[in-house]
A and B are shown apart, each in its own frame.
Chain A
């Protein structure tokens, strides 16, 4: 208490200078976004932006559900404490300044003044405290893990929130994570209610540039301009309409007929994205979505005696021609991964080459060496592969792996299930030899990625280490990096960790990809920061 008291005072003193500096920097950033490079004229006010979505979420509250499908709608209505700037560094949103204590156990946030909720009530530190303790820590996926050691949030005054941790929390980890996991919900709407059942989960109340208007299940969500938004003079758009068009061919048709102007996070078929790339009416690009890199994965159940041998796992990696797959099945939209940390993650990327090149001879040699010689019919052994269909490319990759492994004498049987079935089969029943799906990187390895490798995840937790694989060194590196306060030392720890897991490959990351947007050229002020699909769109505008 002592510490946080003196500490918040210090943060307040800091903030006056720092805030001025940051808001000045913010103005420069915004100024740059206001004038799109290709056009000299000023942003137009008014108009409706219609966005296609390919799936419907159960709730629209990013404080209890972390998912791009939630952000793509609600990040325009609710706001996080911090967001990513154009250069990928955290910039102020609802928090204007922050300061961590030297021991890393307290982080103080100075909050923006003069911000009000869409229902007119003022935004204060009490909202931050309530959201952090009652939502992020209790219900938010990835948030519960991130805030596991959060003891309390102190609110010395309405404009200061002090997070107290029982274990050191690296500031850079917290800030990067809060861009996704730091959306603030109004305390006065949720307090004293059952949080999961609160109607505001599907009719969000926020502080953002757009106010929620209507959610017609199965059809559309509408939000309109918030006239008293704190970034004065914005937003430009009158309305945003999100339409649910699940069929990918129908979605492409809606884009081509002008019914919708934007489709993001790969909501279209890869073939259509490839086709629209050469259509002068649209821009197809991964720019503005760099923060959500993902990989195609291959997970090994090391309870199988063959797969317990690291030589077999390496042999399998050597047997699959990843560049060929990317070129011919992904329309060239991706590159071979170099490990679990994608190259877009500047703060951690260790700059190593892809660990396993395509080399069927070496693969066969490794398999022979491991003692699994070709038997009757040229087959060494058989494996069961369960695809988790996150995207249309997953079944293709499953077949590609099947055929690639056939060539080196491993027979693969593909078990087709829908996503719910695949998740429980793999992570709860462990009833698989190989599994393939996506790994999504969320800004910091400690948020999304190390759980894929660290031992000790309870049985049944999806996308965690359920492969019966354990390494003391990897566990130690993961734990050390999660509490290391010095950014340079954290980076070094993660570089060592990448090397270790690349060596052992309990999971093999094959490709490294970013999501794609197809955007009508009528839309401007778009894709100007690395998580724009989940951004607030206050500076986005549309031609008449």
Chain B
């Protein structure tokens, strides 16, 4: 009950921010030259002004910018995100179709990079300045410095074209008619390369934070006490140090939730995944204002939700934080 109350309070506090973001974005997009009908004209390779006028009326672009903004906000108050110009469907539907793909991709990448980063960070910290540490740190740096589209393409070249182990792209087998577990496995197979690609970049960050945090915690008094009472190294790391060292990691998850949503644009393009990132890119190019604002709105909600979850996890990891609230 307190959690629910807390969540509502958090949401209410973000309403002004959300409104500012949406209105700001709307105005920003007014500055971009060209509207959705120009984009459409470009796509269809030309057309006459009569067609263009007809389409502008159809998309409601014949109104002034203030009238459009007013109309948008009024709709938003009634939880109506409007109709997507590219897809001719309600924005809510379009986003609902795309959201699972992005959540699945970002979620699995998050789990992979978090778990991998934690593990490698511990190993590096335990073998400080010896070859495992050097190797892990160097690899981490290399992953961090390499653009993710390159990883993706190289993964495709190696695992799809040369070895033929994994599909080169797509979300699932088209028209395969799979259901249930078979479909889940098929989707999982398609998501291996994209998740790994997205995870590798974030892995480096988690690894370095974990390593530093682990080193710090291992030098604290309570670890020395644990050693003094004759506890084994593994026990110290797992039972005492890990829990404390995880705090900065969890902070990072909250901070990177937004980045991960944004970072999936590239990966979704390379692997032809129908996710939110690609939808956002497409909406910018096509000047589909309603869809873009809808995506920003939903993404903002997601980030708020993730950060709320992070706050709860803090309390679980370190009771002192919860007690202070």
What are the interface flags for B159-196 relative to A under an 8 Å C-beta threshold, 1 for contact and 0 otherwise? 01100100111110011000000000000000000000
How many A-B pairs fall under 8 Å by CB? 177
Residues of B within 8 A of A241 (CB): 174-175
Evaluate whether A67 and B43 lie within 8 angstroms (CB atoms) in the complex, with A58-B88, A424-B33, A457-B49 already known: yes
Out of A67, A68, A243, name the residue touching B174 (CB < 8 Å).
A243
Q: How far is the CB of A29 from chain B (nearest CB, A)?
A: 28
CB <8 Å contact, A246 and B278: yes
Residues of B within 8 A of A219 (CB): 170-171, 174, 274
CB <8 Å contact, A243 and B170: yes
Interface residues of A in 8-61 (CB under 8 A from B): 48, 50, 55-59
Residues of A within 8 A of B36 (CB): 420
Decide yes or no whether B270 CB sits under 8 A from chain A.
Answer: yes
Out of B38, B47, B52, B164, name the residue touching A142 (CB < 8 Å).
B47
Residues of A within 8 A of B52 (CB): 460-462
- Chain A interface, number of residues (Cβ within 8 angstroms): 67
Q: How far is the CB of B59 from chain A (nearest CB, A)?
A: 10
In the complex, residue of chain B having the shortest beta-carbon distance to the beta carbon of A201: B88
Evaluate whether A462 and B157 lie within 8 angstroms (CB atoms) in the complex, with A141-B44, A239-B175 already known: no
CB <8 Å contact, A247 and B269: yes
Out of A67, A244, A429, name the residue touching B44 (CB < 8 Å).
A67
Evaluate whether A250 and B169 lie within 8 angstroms (CB atoms) in the complex, with A141-B46, A256-B161, A257-B161 already known: yes
Residues of B within 8 A of A140 (CB): 51
CA distance A266 to B269 in the complex (A): 18
Interface residues of B in 50-65 (CB under 8 A from A): 50-52, 54-55, 58
Out of B32, B48, B168, B271, name the residue touching A141 (CB < 8 Å).
B48
Decide yes or no whether A93 CB sits under 8 A from chain B.
Answer: no
CB <8 Å contact, B48 and A461: yes
Interface residues of A in 181-239 (CB under 8 A from B): 196-197, 201-202, 214, 216-220, 222, 239
Residues of A within 8 A of B38 (CB): 419-421, 423-424, 428, 462
CB <8 Å contact, B169 and A245: yes
Decide yes or no whether A66 CB sits under 8 A from chain B.
Answer: yes
- Of A196, A257, A463, most buried by chain B (CB within 10 Å of CB) is A257
Out of B47, B87, B171, B269, name the residue touching A250 (CB < 8 Å).
B269
Residues of A within 8 A of B168 (CB): 250, 253-254, 257, 259
Out of B34, B46, B175, B282, name the residue touching A420 (CB < 8 Å).
B34
Decide yes or no whether A388 CB sits under 8 A from chain B.
Answer: yes
Residues of B within 8 A of A245 (CB): 169-170, 272
What are the interface flags for B272-293 relative to A under an 8 Å C-beta threshold, 1 for contact and 0 otherwise? 1010001100100111000000
CB <8 Å contact, A57 and B43: yes
CB <8 Å contact, B161 and A388: no
In the complex, residue of chain A having the shortest beta-carbon distance to the beta carbon of B33: A421
Out of B48, B85, B271, name the residue touching A58 (CB < 8 Å).
B85
Decide yes or no whether A425 CB sits under 8 A from chain B.
Answer: yes
Binding site for A on B (CB under 8 A): 32-36, 38-52, 54-55, 58, 85-88, 94, 97-98, 153, 156-157, 160-161, 164, 167-171, 174-175, 269-272, 274, 278-279, 282, 285-287
